C-alpha cells in the first residue's frame, strides 16, 4: 500500500485550482464544479474537494496539516519565498533556519499550509 493522494477541502475548487496552477507552474489534470486535481511526476496527486459537494462528510475544523515541498538548496527556499510574496501569496511564517533546515510557510486561499524547506545536512 502506497499513499498517493492529499485531499484538501476548499470553498471553490476552480479558484483553488487556479491558485495552485500559478503557485506550482503546472495545470490541473481535472477541474469540475465540486473537485479539481493535480498529478505530479512522483506519483502524488493533490485533490481539491468542495466543502459543499454532495456526499461531503468531514468532522472537525481547522487546518492541521501541510503540503510540504522539499527543495535542494537554502537559496531556492528564499527564491520561492520572494516569488510567492510578489504574487501576493499569504506568508504565515517567513524564511528561517529551523532545526531541520531552511523553511517558510505560506497559506492557500482556504488556509491550508504550504511549507517549502530543505533538509538539513
* Beta-strand runs (E) in 1-121: 5-10, 30-32, 35-39, 45-50, 66-70, 90-98, 101-107, 113-117
pLDDT in tens, the chain (121 residues): 778 999 998 999 999 999 999 999 999 999 998 899 999 999 999 999 988 876 666 665 666 678 999 999 999 999 999 999 999 999 999 999 998 899 999 999 999 999 999 987 6
C-alpha span between 91 and 85 (Å, rounded)? 7
pTM for the whole structure: 0.85
Dihedral sign for Cα atoms in the order 32, 34, 39, 43: negative
C-alpha span between 74 and 117 (Å, rounded)? 8
- Name the DSSP class of 62: S
Sorted by sequence, the CB contacts under 8 Å of residue 68 that are 6+ apart come out as: 114, 115, 116, 117
Q: Domains (ranges, CATH) in the chain?
A: 5-50 (3.30.720.120), 66-117 (3.10.180.10)
Amino acid at each position: 500500500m502506497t499513499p498517493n493522494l492529499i485531499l484538501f477541502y476548499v470553498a471553490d475548487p476552480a479558484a483553488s485550482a487556479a491558485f495552485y496552477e500559478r503557485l506550482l507552474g503546472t495545470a490541473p489534470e481535472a477541474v469540475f464544479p465540486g473537485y479539481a486535481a493535480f498529478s505530479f511526476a512522483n506519483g502524488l496527486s493533490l485533490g481539491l474537494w468542495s466543502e459543499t459537494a454532495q456526499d461531503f462528510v468531514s468532522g472537525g475544523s481547522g487546518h492541521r496539516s501541510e503540503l510540504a515541498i522539499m527543495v535542494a538548496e537554502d537559496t531556492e527556499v528564499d527564491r520561492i519565498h520572494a516569488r510567492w510574496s510578489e504574487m501576493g501569496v499569504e506568508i504565515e511564517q517567513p524564511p528561517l533556519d529551523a532545526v531541520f533546515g531552511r523553511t517558510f510557510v505560506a497559506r492557500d486561499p482556504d488556509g491550508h499550509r504550504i511549507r517549502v524547506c530543505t533538509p538539513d545536512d
